[in-house]
A and B are shown apart, each in its own frame.
Chain A
Amino acid sequence: MGARKNGFYPVMLLTLIVFISIVALTLTNAVTKDKIELAKKDEIAEMLITLFPKMEGFTYDEKSDLYIPLAEQQPLGYAFMAEKSGYGGAISILVGLEPDTTLRGIRIISQQETPGLGSRIAESFFLQQFPGLAVDDVELTRKGGEVDAITGATISSSAVVEGVRKAILDKLNQLRRET
């Protein structure tokens, strides 16, 4: 017991424990890393399919940050991510456009809005208002647009609308500059 009382032993022990911890975590990370990446990709792919049901696969263009859903090698439209801060934090939204750049639809990838109120932005009764809108109509009805806000969740609704509109405008500008 004598050795355990002196200053050296506790430090050694703590170092050893930290070392074991690092090894254990590195191993777990090595096992789960690919799975986690895959889960993230799957999530976007699943959402893409609900936007473009005819899709057979998709490509991702890193330079323009666009997802291009394909059927028989032909693009069905474009999709990209939009982000906007809502009530409880960042909301990330997948925006789908038709080839003629009208809105195909949107899907909520992640959000931390209040359950039961703001979180309803991910439900279909809200999302189904978006398909077919022109960019300028993506605005809440009380501000002259075409989207009805969710009762009791104006902030979350308006965050989605603002985020989507801004993302489409930015993306169109960016594509115009590139071509």
Chain B
Amino acid sequence: MSNLIAIFFGMALVNNMVLVKFLGLCPFFGVSKKLKSALSMGIAVLLVMVVASVVTWPIFHFLLVPYNVEFMRTVIFILVIASLVQIIEMTIKRTNLTLYNALGIYLPLITTNCAVLGITFINIDQAYTFPESIIAALGAGAGFTLVLIIMSGIRERLDMADPPLAFKGTPIAFITAMLLGLCFLAFGGIIG
């Protein structure tokens, strides 16, 4: 149990997808201008990460490994993620229109979100068990959502700030990300 907790917080805070692993930078800078869209994007990514981990882990260990075709991993995983995103999109559209209106436009973007493919690779490379990989996906998604929300909060205020002209917009967003990363560095102590 303590192992699972360590994995969750390790993934969410210490080895944060965005700030440490540099995965999912496109939505991090692209969708972090407004708090509401950041939250929707974060939840959509969290959802796809967990579902993708649940599906790809058994595929790798019960299909690719027994037949000695581990080298097909990249092709199979990306196809699985692309199909999953389609299925999730259709399901949400049919069952919950409010949710679809909130998440709808972000879902197709997630197929090419490296954080999702990244977490499925991490699950395999770290030799996580099935429950561990689900917790890792939950942690990674939670960490992603957290920094996206923090970042959008900062950026909403940043719009009113007055940095040197050359830094306005994207450059100052990168500097902000750096400071955020420094803060997250302090979380390193909790898994010691």
Contact = CB atoms under 8 A, between A and B. Distances in A.
A155 B191 contact: yes
Contacts of B122: 89
B71 A25 contact: yes
A90 B127 contact: yes
Interface string B7-22: 0000000110000100
A21 B71 contact: no
A90 B123 CA distance: 12
A29 B71 contact: yes
B188 interface: yes
Interface residues of B, number: 14
B186 interface: no
Interface string B88-112: 0000000000000000000000000
B192 A154 contact: yes
A90 B191 CA distance: 14
Interface residues of A, number: 12
A22 interface: yes
A89 B174 CA distance: 26
A58 interface: no
Contact of B191 (A25, A29, A87): A87
B72 A22 contact: yes
A155 B122 CA distance: 20
A119 interface: no
A25 B72 contact: yes
A155 B126 CA distance: 18
Q: Is the interface of B mostly helix, strand, loop or mixed?
A: helix
B188 A87 contact: yes
A158 interface: yes
Interface in B140-192: 188, 191-192
A13 to B, nearest CB: 15
A19 B39 CA distance: 40
Contacts, number: 25
Contacts of B127: 90
A146 to B, nearest CB: 20
B75 interface: yes
Interface in A85-101: 87-90
A21 B71 CA distance: 12
A84 B50 CA distance: 26
Contact of B188 (A22, A25, A89, A155): A155
Contacts of A89: 15, 122, 125-126
Contacts of A29: 69, 71
Contacts of A155: 188, 191-192
B5 to A, nearest CB: 14
A25 B14 contact: no
Interface of B: 14-15, 20, 69, 71-72, 75, 122, 125-127, 188, 191-192
Given A89-B15, A89-B126, 19 more contacts: A21-B75, A25-B71, A25-B72, A25-B75, A28-B71, A29-B71, A87-B14, A87-B15, A87-B188, A87-B191, A88-B15, A89-B122, A90-B126, A90-B127, A154-B192, A155-B188, A155-B191, A155-B192, A158-B192
14 contacts: A22-B72, A25-B72, A25-B75, A29-B69, A87-B191, A88-B15, A89-B15, A89-B122, A89-B125, A90-B126, A154-B192, A155-B188, A155-B191, A155-B192
Interface of A: 21-22, 25, 28-29, 87-90, 154-155, 158
- The 5 nearest A-B residue pairs measured at CB: A155-B192, A29-B71, A89-B126, A25-B71, A21-B75
